[in-house]
C-alpha cells in the first residue's frame, strides 16, 4: 500500500475493521434536518472472504476515522446502505455507502402530554423517539421555551403524532431551535447560531488552503487541510487576505485518498453577523 505523508484511515463496518489498505472517501454533511449526511468509501483489494461477508450485512453501523499516523479522528458514523465490489484491471474495489440518521427519520411517534407538560420533557421525548444518540439534547432542552411567549410549559398539553422527523421539526421550530443528525447523534442549535464551544481557527498558518472569497446569500466557501473536529455547526474564525471573521459551518465535505492527492475539507460558512 502507498501512504502519502503518513495518512491513515480506519473503516469499521459492524465488527469488521479495515486498515492498511488504500482507501478513498467522500463525506458530505450539512445542518439540514431533511437530508441525511452521507459517506462513500472505496477500498482497494479486500480479500474475497471479506468482500462476501460485507455484502451480506444489513442494518449495521459504519464508521470512518482519518488523519495521520499517531492521530486520527472520527469523520463519520452512520447506517450501512450498500456494499458493491467491482473488478478494475487487476484490482478489486469495494464501494461502501452509508447515511447518518436515514433509518431514524422513518420512525413514527404517537404520544400525548397532559396540560402543564414542560417543553423540556416534550423535546426530550421527541429526541429519544429518533432512536439515535442524544448528543447535546439535555443541554439545549433544559432551558427551552416557546417562542413568542417565553413559556416553559404547554398549558394546553401537547401531542406528538406522525413521522418523528416532521414532529421534531415542528417542535424545535416553535422553540427557536434547529436540529440535525451528526454522526448518528442529535445536535440542537439555537436558530442561526453555532455551537457555543470554542471555535476553530483557520488561517494560512493553521491549515487554510488558498484565500476564501465571499459567495452569494452570505455564504463563504473555504478549503482547508484534513484537521479534526470540523463538522456542521462549529464556530470557525477565518483569517485570510480577502475574508476575516467568525462563521458557522453550514456544510462540510471531507475528501481523502491514501494513494492520491486529495486530503482536504471543503466548507460552506455563514457569517455570524448575518443571522437567519
- Note down pLDDT in tens along the chain; length 276 residues: 344 568 899 999 999 999 989 999 999 999 998 889 999 999 999 999 999 999 999 889 999 999 888 778 999 999 999 999 999 999 999 999 999 877 777 789 999 999 999 999 999 999 998 888 999 999 888 888 888 888 899 999 999 999 999 999 999 999 999 999 999 899 999 999 998 777 899 999 999 998 887 766 678 899 999 988 899 999 999 999 888 889 999 999 999 999 988 999 999 999 876 554
Q: CA geometry: angle at 101 spanning 191 and 113, to 5°?
A: 65
104-190 has which fold?
Answer: Phage tail protein beta-alpha-beta fold (3.55.50)
Question: Are 226 and 26 a contacting pair, CB within 8 Å?
Answer: no
- Residues, the chain: 276
How many whole angstroms separate alpha carbon 130 and alpha carbon 103? 9
The CATH architecture of the domain made up of 7-100 is Roll (2.30)
Residue 30's pLDDT is 96
**Any alpha helices (H) in the chain, and if so which ranges?**
48-55, 119-129, 137-141, 164-174
Is the pTM of the predicted complex or chain greater than 0.85? yes
Return the domain boundaries, the chain.
Answer: 7-100, 104-190, 200-271
Give the span between the Cα atoms of 215 and 18, in whole angstroms.
Answer: 39
pLDDT on residue 66: 93
Residue 118 is given by DSSP the state E
Model pLDDT, residue 212: 86
CATH of domain 200-271: 2.40.30.150
Single out the residue of 261, 196, 178 nearest to residue 226, CA to CA.
261
Amino acid at each position: 500500500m502507498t501512504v502519502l505523508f503518513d495518512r491513515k484511515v480506519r473503516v469499521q463496518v459492524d465488527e469488521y475493521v479495515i486498515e492498511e489498505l488504500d482507501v478513498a472517501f467522500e463525506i458530505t454533511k450539512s445542518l439540514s434536518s431533511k437530508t441525511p449526511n452521507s459517506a462513500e468509501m472505496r477500498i482497494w483489494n479486500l480479500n474475497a472472504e471479506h468482500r462476501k461477508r460485507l455484502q451480506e450485512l444489513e442494518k449495521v453501523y459504519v464508521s470512518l476515522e482519518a488523519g495521520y499516523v499517531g492521530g486520527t479522528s472520527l469523520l463519520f458514523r452512520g447506517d450501512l446502505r450498500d456494499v458493491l465490489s467491482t473488478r478494475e484491471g487487476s484490482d478489486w474495489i469495494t464501494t461502501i455507502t452509508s447515511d447518518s440518521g436515514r433509518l431514524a427519520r422513518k420512525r413514527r411517534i404517537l404520544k400525548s402530554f397532559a396540560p402543564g407538560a414542560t417543553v423540556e420533557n416534550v423535546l426530550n421525548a421527541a429526541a429519544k423517539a429518533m432512536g439515535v444518540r442524544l448528543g447535546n439534547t439535555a443541554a439545549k432542552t433544559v432551558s427551552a421555551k416557546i417562542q413568542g411567549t417565553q413559556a416553559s410549559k404547554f398549558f394546553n398539553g401537547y401531542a406528538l403524532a406522525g413521522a418523528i422527523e416532521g414532529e421534531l421539526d415542528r417542535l424545535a421550530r416553535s422553540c427557536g431551535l434547529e436540529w440535525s443528525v451528526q454522526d448518528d447523534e442529535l445536535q440542537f442549535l439555537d436558530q442561526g447560531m453555532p455551537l457555543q464551544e470554542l471555535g476553530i481557527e483557520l488561517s494560512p498558518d493553521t491549515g487554510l488552503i488558498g484565500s476564501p472569497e465571499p459567495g452569494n446569500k452570505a455564504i463563504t466557501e473555504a478549503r482547508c487541510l484534513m484537521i479534526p473536529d470540523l463538522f456542521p455547526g462549529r464556530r470557525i474564525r477565518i483569517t485570510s487576505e480577502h475574508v476575516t471573521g467568525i462563521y458557522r459551518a453550514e456544510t462540510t465535505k471531507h475528501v481523502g485518498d491514501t494513494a492520491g492527492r486529495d486530503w482536504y475539507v471543503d466548507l460552506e460558512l455563514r457569517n455570524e453577523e448575518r443571522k437567519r
